[in-house]
Chain A
Amino acid sequence: MLLEARNLHIGYGDAPAVWDVSLDVDGGEIVSVIGPNGAGKTTLINAIAGMLRCRRGTLRFDGADMTRISAHAYCGHGIALVPEGRRLFAKMSVEENLELGCYLGKARAARAQSLERVYGLFPILRDKRRQPAGELSGGQQQMVAIGRALMARPRIVLFDEPSLGLAPTIVDDMFEIIVRVRDEGAAVLLVEQNVLKALDIADRAYVLEQGRIVAQGLPADLLKQPQIREAYLGV
C-alpha cells in the first residue's frame, strides 16, 4: 500500500475534527472521500499533506512513518497537495508558483522537463507565465495549483475540493485532468463535494460524516446504498 492511515485522530485546539479514520491509497488508483460540508474532509487531507499534526494513529507513506517527520519534509517523500481555494502565491508570477512546486532536490533538477509537461497540459499558462498568479481567472488558478503539485514529481496528489467555485464547463476539464494525473503514474486522493463526479472517476471511495468513516467500497456499490443515494444524490 502506498498510503496507509490507521486510526487517525486529528483536531484543532481541544476539539478533534476527525476520529479514528483509517484509509488506504494504493499506487495508480484514484480514491475519493466524499461527505457533507464540515465532515472533516479538509482536515483529513491537510493532515496527510503534513500541514496538521495527527494526535493519534499512524500515517505511513511507502513504508515511512510520516507522523515523525516535519511538515516541510512531506513533499520530498512524494506527497503534493492541491489545496482548497487553491492558495496560490498571489503576488508571485505563474512560473514562480510552479517553481515553488519543484523547490526540493530531485524535483528541482527536473525543473525544465516538468515545466514543459505542465505547459503541455495547460497551454494557457505558458502565455501567462509572467503574470501574477492572483490576476488569473478561477479556472486558470486551479491549473496553476495542479501544475505546482505536478512540478513536485509526486507519487500521490491530494486534491482538496478542486471543483469548488469553478464554472461547470471547467469542472469537467478538471476531473479529466485528475484522471490523466492518475494515468501518468501518480496515485490520487480526492476530496469532493461534487459526489457524482468524484465517484464517477474513483477506483474506490470513502464516505466521511462528522469526522468518521461511515462507508467505503467501490463507487458502484456505494451508489446502490439507499442512505447514500438519499443524502448525496437526493433520490
Chain B
Amino acid sequence: MPSATLLGQALISGVLAGGLYGLLAMGLSLSWGLLRLVNLSHFALAFLAAYLVYELGTSYHVAPWWSAAMIVPAMFGIGVAQHWLFDKFRVNELASLLITFSFAVILEVGIQLYWTADFRRYETEYSTKSIKAGAFFIPVLDLTLCIVAGLLAWGTWLWLRRTYVGKALRAAAEDPGIAAAYGVDHKRLAYLLSGIGAGYAGIAGTFIALIATLAPAEIWAYLGVVFAVVIIGRLGNPLGALLAGLLIGASESLAMAVLAPAWAPVVSFSVLIVILLWDPEWL
C-alpha cells in the first residue's frame, strides 16, 4: 500500500486532471443533451485550438491568454458554421456521430499535414510552477484550469436554469413542437449553443496546449473517458459534467497509484457501469 502522502498527491493530481475531462465534457454534453447532436469533432476542435495556441506562442511569442482571446471567438464561429451544415442537411443524432467523426478525421489529417505527427511541447514560464500546500504540490496551470472549468460550469448551469434562453433550450430539448408553439425559435438558439460548445473546445484547447504534449493522434486519447464523463454527468448538465470529470480523474489517478498505471483506462468505464446499474437518485 502506498503512503498517505503519495495517495494524497495522487488524489490532488487526479482531481486536477479531471478538470480537463470536465471542461471537454461540458461542450459535448450541451450539444448532445440539448440539441441531440453528438459532436465527435469537439476533441479535434480542442486540439486545433491547442495547436494554434502552440503556434502563436512559439512562432510569434503571443501569450497563451491573448491567443485564447482570439481563438475562442473564432471557435464560436466554427461552431456556428458547423451547425449551419447540420441544419442544412437535417442531421439527426446518429448521423451526427458519423459526420462529426469525419470532421474530426479531416481536422486530424489537416493538423498532421501542417504540424506533422511529431510530439510538440509548449514550454512556458508557468509549466513548472506549483504551489506547495503542506506535503503536497499543486501545479499552477492545472489549478487554473480547474478554477476556469468550475466557473464555466457554474455559469453555464445558472444560464440554463435562470435565463429565458436557457429555459427555452431545455424545453425545446424535451418537446421542440410545443416549445415552438410558445414562441421558442429553436433554430436560432441551436446556433448559439453550437457556438458556445465550440468556444468551450477553444478554452479546453488552450489548457491542453499548456499542460499536455501535442500530437495529432492524441485527439482520440480523450474520447472514451470524456464520453463516460458526459454520461455520468447526465446529458445537458454542465455542473454534472464537471463533477463527473473530477470523479473520474480522481479514480483514475488513485487506481494508478494503488494498482498500476495500466489500470487507469479501466476505471472510467467501471465507474460508468456501476453508476448506470446503481442509478443513484442524487444524480
Given contacts A89-B171, A108-B164, contact A49 B181 (CB under 8 A): yes
B89 to chain A, nearest CB (A): 20
B170 to A, closest residue via Cβ: A92
Is A89 a contact of B174 with CB atoms below 8 Å?
yes
Interface centre among A50, A70, A74, A103 (most CB of B within 10 A): A103
Given contacts A103-B164, A108-B164, contact A92 B181 (CB under 8 A): no
Is B180 a contact of A72 with CB atoms below 8 Å?
yes
Number of interface residues of B (CB under 8 A): 17
A20 on the B face (CB < 8 A): no
Contacting B at CB under 8 A, from A148-203, are 148, 152
Given contacts A89-B171, A89-B174, contact A104 B183 (CB under 8 A): yes
Number of interface residues of A (CB under 8 A): 27
The secondary structure that dominates the B interface is helix
B136 to chain A, nearest CB (A): 40
CB contact between B174 and one of A50, A71, A92, A103 (< 8 Å): that residue: A92
Given the complex of chains A and B, what is the CA–CA distance between A192 and B102 in angstroms? Answer: 50
B178 on the A face (CB < 8 A): yes
Q: Which of A9-17, A58-66, A75-83, A112-120 lies on the face that meets chain B?
A: A75-83
A90 on the B face (CB < 8 A): yes
Is A81 a contact of B181 with CB atoms below 8 Å?
yes
CB contact between B175 and one of A70, A89, A99 (< 8 Å): that residue: A89
CB contact between A72 and one of B167, B170, B184 (< 8 Å): that residue: B184
Given A72-B186, A74-B181, A87-B178, 12 further pairs, Cβ under 8 A? A51-B177, A72-B180, A72-B183, A72-B185, A73-B183, A87-B175, A89-B170, A92-B174, A100-B167, A100-B168, A100-B182, A152-B183
Supply 25 A–B pairs (Cβ within 8 Å), ascending by A: A50-B181, A51-B177, A72-B180, A72-B181, A72-B183, A72-B185, A72-B186, A74-B181, A75-B182, A75-B183, A76-B183, A80-B181, A81-B181, A83-B181, A87-B175, A89-B170, A89-B175, A89-B179, A92-B170, A92-B174, A96-B167, A99-B167, A100-B167, A100-B182, A103-B168
- Residue ranges of B at the interface with A (Cβ–Cβ < 8 Å): 164, 167-168, 170-171, 174-175, 177-186
